């Protein structure tokens, strides 16, 4: 059974940093691209970042480019999102998701990030 | 690439046929997926590659389109289908979601 478990969320002040993690199981992690998607309160889904299987292809939404860094450790079946210079508008539930070559077929339950003074 | 969805919300009854459209600001071939999200739950993949039904998804869901114009159809709305639906393009980074269509009970 495929499982994706996010962690690392919490309450943080504007301008500070946070690192999210996603541990995967139930599939061959290093065969697949992985992604981060967020859902802000009262808003729709927003794609945040993606990374291919060997970290050779990485992309970011314009809203986080230069502040967030995605990475992965295939030996640990883990995906990460380093979030720096956090803003109030980064407050959201952050999901990790698995690639299906044309879609995101498995999602975690999310980790909540709240940016507030 | 920007995605628009219409309508932004709709009210329908059980048994109704529902159609949601998604338009891309430029051609994306068939690199489009549809998701359903219920409150408090993670999104669920319904359709990938514009028209391929994800395993385990009921056959009342179907997708069509290519290029810039796409459609998600629910042939006979069921009580468990009341949710928000999103399209997503995967043509090239940055991937993007449409703004969503909320389907509620009439």
Report the pLDDT value the prediction gives residue B106, as an integer from 0 to 100.
86
Distance CA(A6)–CA(A92), nearest Å, equals 13
pLDDT exceeds cutoff 90 at B72? yes
Q: Quick one: pLDDT at residue A20?
A: 98
Q: Which of A100, A58, A63 is nearest to A79 (CA)?
A: A58
Distance from CA of B81 to the nearest CA of A (A): 18
**B47-67 pLDDT per residue, tens:** 999 999 999 999 999 999 999
What is the structure's pLDDT at A102?
Answer: 82
Nearest CA in chain B to A52: B93
Contact B54 A105 (CB under 8 A): yes
- Which tens digit of pLDDT belongs to each residue from B20-45? 999 999 999 999 999 999 999 999 99
Instruction: Report the C-alpha gap between B71 and A11 in whole angstroms.
Output: 39
Contacting residues for A101 by C-beta, under 8 A, at least 6 apart: none
Q: What is the pLDDT of residues A34-50, one digit of tens each?
A: 999 999 999 999 999 99
* Per-residue confidence (pLDDT) for residue A112, from 0 to 100: 98
pLDDT in tens, chain A (117 residues): 999 999 999 999 999 999 999 999 999 999 999 999 999 999 999 999 999 999 889 999 999 999 999 999 999 999 999 999 999 999 999 999 999 988 999 999 999 999 999
What is the rounded CA–CA span in Å between residue A1 and residue A61?
30
Give chain B's largest Cα–Cα span: 38
Looking at beta carbons, which residues of chain B come within 8 Å of A2?
none
- Note the pLDDT tens digit of each residue in A46-66: 999 999 999 889 999 999 999
Give which of A49, A102, A109, A110 to mutate to test B binding, by max B Cβ within 10 Å: A102
């Amino acid at each position: 059974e495929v499982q994706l478990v996010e962690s690392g969320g919490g309450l943080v002040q504007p301008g500070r940093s946070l690192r999210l993690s996603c541990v995967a199981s139930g599939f061959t992690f290093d065969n697949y691209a992985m992604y981060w998607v967020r859902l802000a309160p009262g808003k729709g889904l927003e794609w945040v970042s993606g990374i291919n299987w060997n970290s050779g292809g990485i992309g970011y939404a314009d809203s986080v480019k230069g502040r967030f860094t995605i990475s992965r450790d295939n030996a640990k079946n883990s995906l990460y999102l380093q979030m720096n210079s956090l803003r109030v508008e980064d407050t959201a539930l952050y999901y990790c998701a698995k690639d299906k070559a044309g879609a995101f077929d498995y999602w975690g339950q999310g980790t909540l990030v709240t940016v507030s003074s | 690439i920007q995605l628009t969805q219409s309508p932004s919300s709709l009210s329908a009854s059980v048994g109704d046929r529902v159609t949601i459209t998604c338009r891309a600001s430029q051609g994306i071939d068939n690199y489009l997926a549809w998701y359903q999200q219920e409150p408090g739950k993670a999104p669920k993949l319904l359709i990938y590659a514009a028209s391929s039904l994800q395993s385990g998804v009921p056959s009342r869901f179907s997708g069509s389109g290519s290029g810039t114009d796409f459609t998600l159809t629910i042939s006979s709305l069921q009580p468990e289908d009341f949710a928000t639906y999103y399209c997503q393009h995967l043509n090239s980074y940055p991937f993007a979601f449409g703004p969503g269509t909320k389907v509620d009970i009439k």
